[in-house]
Amino acid sequence: MALMAHDSEIKAIATVSQVRQMSGNRDGTFTRVSFKRVYAVTPYTPKTFVGACKILNYAWQKRSKDIIYIKPKVGQKVYVTVSSNGGAITSFTRLTPELDYAVRKEPFRVEYTHGRAVLLPPIE
């Protein structure tokens, strides 16, 4: 999954503008998430874009070890990677001041693990 996030066409700081549940299965609810770009890391990131993910909403749904689950909320400011517009969300991380700075000024420090962005230590 880390490689998928690293190779994603869309990497951006964005605001969640819409969360739309599409269908529910045993392994989670397939959901489309719309984003409004705040800052693009990759070229050609559209002003608005869509990514798909799974969410666990109900007690009868069981976590699958092969799926990264997220819980997007409208208005949430995040750093997100999406395989391509309309494709899979490959990482989703709530934005902190430190992550915001690193994404904008030191993108080489951003790595991915378990569907989230993590920061490598600063180079001194």
Enumerate the domain spans of the chain: 2-119
The string of pLDDT tens digits covering residues 40-99 is 999 999 999 999 999 998 888 888 887 889 999 999 999 999 999 999 999 999 999 999
Burial 24-38 (b: 16+ CB within 10 A, else e): beeebbebebbbebe
> What tokens appear for 62 in the block?
């069981």
Q: Which of 1-5, 32-36, 67-71, 86-90 has the lowest mean pLDDT?
A: 1-5
Position 87 scores a pLDDT of 93
pTM, to two decimals: 0.91
Domain made up of 2-119: CATH architecture: Beta Barrel (2.40)
- Closest C-alpha among 67, 50, 41 to residue 16: 50
